Structures are given as structure tokens and as C-alpha cells.
Chains A and B, each alone.
Chain A
Amino acid sequence: MNLQFLADGVVMGALIGLGAVGVTLSYSILRFANFAHGEFIAWGTYMTLVLTTAISTLFGGHTGTIGPLSFGWPLLVAGVAAAALTGGLAVALDRLLFSKLRSKGNAIVMVMASFGASMALRSLLEFIFTSRPAYFTRDIQMAVPAGLGIRLTPDQFFLIFLTMIIVVVMDRFLSLSATGRAMRAVSENPILARVAGVDVERVIRATWIIAGILATASGVMLGVTVQIRPFMGFDLLLPLFAAAILGGIGSMSGAMLGGLIVGVAEAVAVQIVGADYRAAVAFLILIAVLLVKPSGLFGVRE
């Protein structure tokens, strides 16, 4: 049996997992399901695309590629800058919209506002870039054997490696840094955290910035392996929510594992029923989790 689909599922799962970590963090700390998270993914990717093009043009297009990878250093530099900008976008959206609703204390109105914001942000991308897909590179890469009859492209190797680094860094950050501990405190109990002297506003800003960074990472991965479209984030949103709930809201490792499960399940479903119903897999997983164990694999509350 050809296990190639598993490899594609793992790459997809890694990027779903990165997005889901952002969703689960903002969900547990800000206490609402942010429907605009998909738009952070799309905006981060498009900003990376614009910056990559700008840098390459600046250097006369002679930036080359890194070893066997399909892209050069401009993509990495642009990705880091775009991640920061996306974090800024998330903070700005919070200032303009969510912070004003937060004081009224109705979480579901914030969900609705995020839904409106996502529609506006997505359509704005469509207005600027049209719905035609864009690509970081049009080169076709040769896949190299990775054992068990699976072949991976150098890009895929790199992205899996990058995901692992991000996960380790995030884990260390959340468990060791002062900001990380403050974030976990607010997620456990915001009132108690405030009483204990945690600067909740700062924690909220940090959460948005991290969500924006992770969203950009996940979007650029999707852009490198598949393509860039204004709807790319919207189409990822259901898998992200499914992964975050499967892992248990608030659990970072849960979200990552949930992302891998959703990614691989989608790849398996494509093998069995074809690609047409791929997007329904996340929905079925979501329904199954809500039926069997609504708190998810590593969830604590409820």
C-alpha cells in the first residue's frame, strides 16, 4: 500500500495545528471563538507575498534559492516581517472592535463581530488581489524518498522541521517566560489573575500577536505547498476549530495533535471517497468530539 497520502496529511496537519494553536490560545484567553482567525492566515500570507516580491525586486531578482528549497531568503525575511505585521493587525482589530465589546461582557456578540470582521477583511483581500490564485514560486520540486515508500519535497521537509521548532519555542515560552505564565493564569481565571497583579491588557495584546504570528506561519506553509487565495483562511477555519476542540480548548499540545489528526483524516478520506468531500471531514470530527467528549482530548474545563 502506498503511504504517500500520510505524508501529505502530516504536512497539512502541521499547518492546521499551527493555526489551531492560535485559535485555542485566543479562545481560552479572550473567551470567544474568533472567526477572523482565518483572515489572519490569509492576510499574513498575502503580506509575505508582497514583501517577498518587493525584496526580490529590490535585489534585481538575483536572490536565488536556499539549497534544494523552492524559495530563497527573501521569503523567510518577508515571513518574519509579515508575522509581526499580522500580529499588529490582530492588535489593531482588537483596539477598534473587540475591546469595545469586551467591556459589555457578552461573548457571543464578540463572535458575531469577528464574523463581520472576517467577511470584511476577506473581501478586502479579494478586492486588492482578486480571487485569482497566487504562488510563491511556480517551480515544480522533485520529491525525495523519506522511507516507507513515502516521498517528500525538500520544502515539505523544511516545513515539518519549522513546525517542530515553532512548537518547541511556543511550549518553552508558555511554560517559562513571565508573559507565558501570565497568559496561562488569565486563561485559568481572569479575575484571580487580575487580582494577583497580572496586567490583563498586556496579556491580551501578547495573545493577539502570537495568534497573528502562528497564523502567518500556517498560511505561508499553505502558500508554499499549495497556493495563495483570499479564501485560503476561510477554508481552513473549520479544520482549525475542529482541531482546537478535538485537542481541548486551551491546550497547545492538544491543538497541535488535533491538527495532525484532522490533516491525516482528510488525507485518508481523500483516498477513500475522493477530494470532493474533503472539507466535510473536519465537520464530522467536530460532531464526533462534541457527541463523545466535548472537553476534547486534553481539555480541562466543563
Chain B
Amino acid sequence: MILDLITYGAFFLVTALSYGIICLGLNVQWGQTGLFNVGVAGFVAIGAYTSALLTTPDVVERFGGFDLPIWIGWISAAFVSGLAAAFIGVITLRLRADYLAITTFGIAITIQLVVLNAITITGGPFGIGFIPRPFSGLQEHPLLFNLANLSLVCGITGGVYYALERLIHGPWGRVLRAIREDEAAAASLGKNAKVFRLQAFVLGSAVMGFAGAIQAHFIGFIAPENYLSAITFQVWAMLIIGGSGNNRGALLGAILVWALWSITGAALGLIVPAEYQARAAALQIVFIGIGLAAILVVRPRGLLGEVTKVSRVLIDR
């Protein structure tokens, strides 16, 4: 019993932390730079499908299955998601801010169409199965398997967190925040706002694609319905509730919202009769939507808001 609980706890945390990494990516875009990306689902999907295509064993009815090592899949996932972001970013970041929102919304829909209809590449509605899982040798021991994966995901989350913290608290992050607060002032100091925005957008999307690949490999199976706009919305709720602009807030929000989501989901599953399950799931989204809007009005900082500091030197003094 207690072992089952630990197994479930580890499984829960792996999923929550993979969302946490997506949140960290979104935090670079929104929290630091003020870029509104409505296509989170799309970039996560690009990462998941890229890695799945590269690492699954060769199959007859579908293009690819290149049987490459997992780590190559993960790095390529980040690279391809970043590339897609660069394409979108170059076109829209020079225009008004809402256009990025509209275009990323569009790319998420387009990617959904492609994964659903390009059956020879993506498996269509049936998705891609048999994605190699890390530590697959341990699969007979669910406890060990989940704990091994948890330590791997913890390590990766820690690594991404540390790297982003270093970037954000370094000169690069200061320029991003300067542009976000006052573009004209930043430009007068010779900072090219467009280039920095593009960098932040590409980096954030690459992190999202990377997280998408991790998720895909942990579950071992992906399908288009995993990448609907609901996931974009969940990730946004996580970041806003946790506190945008704060990487610890992003991780806290991810764990908290995922816990709420899982608990309410399980509770509704127990209480609500089977024929009303779809309705109950819709109600879950209603509550998150109201919660997100309420946080924006009442406490825009979220739980752990951004720590305003101009420079490490000034604080230390």
C-alpha cells in the first residue's frame, strides 16, 4: 500500500515537473520579456513528435522510426521547436504585441491539423506508440522505474532551472526586463529590442519542446488529443498562479495546479456517473478559467511574484 503510494507520488511528480519545465520556458517568454504565446500546445507537440520520430524503432506503415538514442531525440526536440519559434518570431515580433498571440494561436491549430492528418508521418489520430522510455529495463518494478525516472526528471528540471536563473540574473535577463518595462529607454542604450525578444521567444519555445519530448518518453505514447488548446491553458494557469517572472513560482504553480487538476479529476471520476464524465471534465476547465481570470484581476503577481531588483550589487549593499 505504502509502496503503491510512493509509486504514484513519483509518477505524479514526474508529470508535474515536466509541466514545470514547460512553465519555465513560458516564463522566459512571458515573465521576463512580456511575450504572450498562445501556442504552447503547438511547441510542446513539435518537441514530442520530433523526438518520437527519431527514437522509435522503424515501422513499415509510417515514415521513420530512426531508432536513435533518447538523448538525441530530446536535443533535436528542443532544436526543432526553437526553429519553429524563430520562423514565427521573425515574422511577428516586429509587429504589435497581439499579433504574436494570434499567430502562435494559429500555429498551434495548424500543428494540431498536421499531426492529425499527416498519417504517414505522425500516425494520425492513433498517434505514435512504443516510444522508448528511459530506464525501460526497470519496467517490471514500477516503484524503481518511477523513482529512477523521477530522479532523472528532477535532475533535468534542476539543470534547466539553474541555467535559466543564471541567464535571467545575468546581463541578458536584465536587458529583457528593461525592454519589457521601457522599450525606448532600452533602445537608447543601444539594445536591439527585436533581437532580444526573438532570442527569448526561441529559447522559451525550445525549452517547451524539450519538455514535450520528456513527457512523451515518460508516457511512451503520444496522440494529437494530448496537444489541444487545453494544455496551453493549463500551463498558463500554472505560471500565472505560481507567479510569472519567478522561476520558483513557475515550478510551484506547475505542481500545485497539476495536483488540483489530478485531485478534482479523480474526485469527479468517483462521484460523477460515467455518462456525465465528459461534462464534469468541462466543468474542471470552467473553474480553471475563472481562477485564471480572477488571479489576473485580484493578484496579478501570483503566489510568488517577481522579485524586483535592479542589480545584485544594489541589493547586497
Contacts and interface: CB of A to CB of B under 8 A. Distances in A.
B48 to A, nearest CB: 20
Contacts of A100: 297
Given A276-B117, A279-B110, A302-B95, A112 B102 contact: no
A302 B289 contact: no
Contacts, number: 129
24 contacts: A100-B297, A107-B97, A108-B34, A109-B296, A111-B36, A111-B97, A112-B296, A115-B38, A115-B233, A116-B290, A117-B293, A119-B289, A120-B290, A120-B293, A121-B289, A126-B279, A127-B279, A237-B105, A276-B113, A277-B113, A279-B109, A279-B113, A280-B109, A283-B106
Contact of A283 (B110, B229, B283): B110
Interface residues of B, number: 43
B95 A277 contact: no
A237 B233 CA distance: 16
Contacts of B286: 120, 123-124, 127
Contacts of B284: 123
In the complex, which range does the number of interface residues on chain A fall in?
35 or more
Nearest to A294: B95
A20 B117 CA distance: 28
B282 A126 contact: yes
Contacts of B101: 33, 35, 108, 111, 115
A8 B105 CA distance: 26
Interface of B: 34, 36, 38, 91-92, 95-99, 101-103, 105-107, 109-110, 113-114, 116-117, 229-230, 233, 236-237, 240, 278-279, 282-286, 288-290, 292-293, 296-297, 300
A222 B46 CA distance: 32
Contacts of A101: 296-297
A286 interface: yes
Interface in A95-131: 97, 100-101, 104, 107-109, 111-113, 115-121, 123-124, 126-127, 130-131
Interface in A68-102: 97, 100-101
Given A124-B282, A290-B99, A119 B233 contact: yes
Interface class of chain A by DSSP:
helix
A32 to B, nearest CB: 6
A109 B239 CA distance: 13
B293 A277 contact: no
4 closest A-B pairs by beta carbon, nearest first, are: A120-B289, A116-B292, A123-B285, A126-B282
A133 to B, nearest CB: 14
A146 interface: no
A108 B98 contact: yes
A117 B98 contact: no
Contacts of A27: 98
Given A113-B292, A113-B297, 16 more contacts: A27-B98, A35-B101, A101-B296, A108-B98, A111-B36, A111-B98, A119-B233, A120-B289, A123-B285, A123-B289, A127-B282, A276-B113, A277-B113, A277-B117, A283-B110, A291-B91
A283 B92 contact: no
A282 B36 contact: no
Contacts of A43: none
A287 interface: yes
